[in-house]
Amino acid sequence: MKRNTFIRAFVMVTFLVFVVSTAKISGEELWQDVSSINQFVGKWEGYRNVRIPKNEENFMPESSIEVSLAIEYIRGSKDVFVNMKMDMDKFLSDCIKMNSTSGGGLLKDDLWDIFLKIFENMEGFSIGGKYFVNYDLTSKAEELLSDNDAIFQINKNGSKIKMVFYETVSFGIGDEGFNEIILTKKNF
């Protein structure tokens, strides 16, 4: 009986050592689900380049939009400040370069003005400078971890948070979107 218990324990420990060493050897981060809002204390930033494949039928050039996501939480605060910033500069430039658009006589600033009118009427959006759009996603601290749109995981040393979205985050312009973004703690 004691021999079986020892063998089981030995097999279990060997398996755990193998799993942990494999993750470290392969360079993968070890992640665990965020269990407390206090794990968000501080300022976090992450970046994604969202690819837009060419679609001449819809007048979309092959391009990309640089997306940054910032999260800030102060211990004891009722709110978690979340801001998504989209850099539209490359996308607008690529639109102008595309023959069908440039043939219409539009300049980059003309196209930007069209987007401004669209974003001005959308709740949560604001202009963050020339060719930059901000989207405020601030939420209540107690609601963040029960978010039904994403799960949050933190790495072993608490320096990175990974947001994995259940559905692709897309901007509705034919972009490929993204399902995951990794944020790095800035005041660690």
Is residue 20 scored above 50 in pLDDT?
no
d(CA 164, CA 31): 12
Instruction: Provide the whole-model pTM.
Output: 0.76
Give residue-wise pLDDT tens across range 98-108: 865 555 678 89
pLDDT at 68: 96
Q: What is the mean pLDDT of residues 22-36?
A: 73
pLDDT, averaged across the chain: 83
160-178 per-residue burial string, b: 16 or more CB within 10 A, e: under 16: bbbbeeeeebebeebbebb
- Residues in a beta bridge with 55: 60
Is residue 125 scored above 70 in pLDDT?
yes
pLDDT at 102: 54
